[in-house]
Amino acid sequence: MSLAHDSDSRVQSRIRRWSLSRQPRQTSVRLTRKSVYILPTRTGVVFLLLLALLLVMGINYENNLIYALTFLLGSLFLVTILHTYNNLAGIELSAVRGSDCHAGEQAHFQLRLSQTGERDRIQMQLPEGTVHEVDLTESAQVVDLSCPARSRGYLKPEWVRLETVYPLGLFRAWTWCRLELTALVFPAPLESPLPEHMEATVSGSLVKARQGGTDDYIGLERFRPGMSPRQIDWKSLARGHGLQAKQFADLRSPELWLDLDAMGAENLERRLSRLTAWVLRLSQADLSYGLKLGQYTLAPASGEQQRQQALKALALYGLEPLRQEGAHASG
């Protein structure tokens, strides 16, 4: 049984490679009769054997009723071919978007499916992904397909498979499409302790950035010419302590740098995974941080844009050239 299954898988793989070699990657594809394949299912083969047996019985016994039943079922068999075939032919499939994820998770892709006429259910699948049943009662709909994201970098599924056995399960029609589907896979975060100076900052140890700020009151100082009258502490003056001015400072975290080369000789993928976990933690704490990956430097900043750029750099490091990013606004 396993030998037969392996042989069938090899035949399917050869047909798939041959079919995909004729197709360039496209953002949208319309299924035509040239791209749809159809073969009887096991039920269809049994049905065909039954027809052959009935025909032999009709010839042997010269029974008109058996002849009528055989030709009726034979007509049904032929009509089923057309219905199964037309359930796929004419469908238009378009790539919408792919969702970023971490290695080891499921990458999700959205596809728009458009069709006209009366159709039934079909099945759709990405490589190694789960089979998704789609009801074709609507003229247009967005379908969400998923497949495993095994390693970091850009994930571009080689094919999308569409299949149907409508209406009686006697035939299976299928096809493969090459669509421009892309998702960015970040390294899987590997939880590990932050360096001590970073841990102290995450725990709330902020430093005074500069005097003369507006964020935090830090005390009083003697009023000097040139200071704003709004800084005068009138309560202190009323108590007879002289003319004093309120002192303020803006508070911010020190510059934090995540440096790949400073992490020792550990395996590259483990270092990237640890950096990924640190990026997520510092972003969650809304702290400003920079990233150094060899010759690539991402200037210190905070916010969602910084998180996305850092994760993208970690995902593509060593796989594709990294574009140098300048400083951008934090927040």
Mean pLDDT (the chain) is 81
63 vs 147, higher pLDDT: 147
Poorest-pLDDT segment among 34-48, 52-66, 141-155, 203-217: 203-217
- d(CA 311, CA 304) in angstroms, rounded, equals 11
Specify the pLDDT at position 58: 87
Q: Which of 161, 136, 170, 171 is nearest to 35 (CA)?
A: 161
Residue 257: its pLDDT value, please?
86
Please choose, from the candidates 249, 257, 255, 253, the residue with its C-alpha nearest in 3D space to the C-alpha of residue 206. 253
Q: Rounded to two decimals, what is the model's pTM?
A: 0.74
Strand pairing report for 121-125 and 160-164: antiparallel
Q: Which pLDDT value is given to residue 205?
A: 44
Within 10 Å of residue 227's Cβ, how many Cβ atoms?
A: 15
Structure tokens at 231: 């800084």
* Residue 201 banded pLDDT, cuts 50, 70, 90: low
What is the pLDDT, as a whole number, of residue 225? 73
- The 10s digit of each residue's pLDDT in 266-324 is 899 999 999 999 999 888 888 888 999 988 999 988 889 999 999 999 999 988 777 76
Model confidence band, residue 204 (pLDDT cutoffs 50, 70, 90): low
Answer whether residue 210 shows pLDDT above 50: no
Between 131-140, 149-158, 246-255, the lowest mean confidence (pLDDT) is in 246-255
List the end-to-end C-alpha distance of the chain, in Å, as a whole number. 61
Alpha-carbon separation of residue 330 from 257, 287, 289, 300, 307 (angstroms): 15, 9, 10, 9, 11
pLDDT for 174 beyond 70:
yes
Q: How far, in Å, are 109, 147, 187, 268 from residue 132 at the CA level?
A: 12, 11, 27, 36
Q: Are 173 and 85 in contact (CB under 8 A)?
A: yes
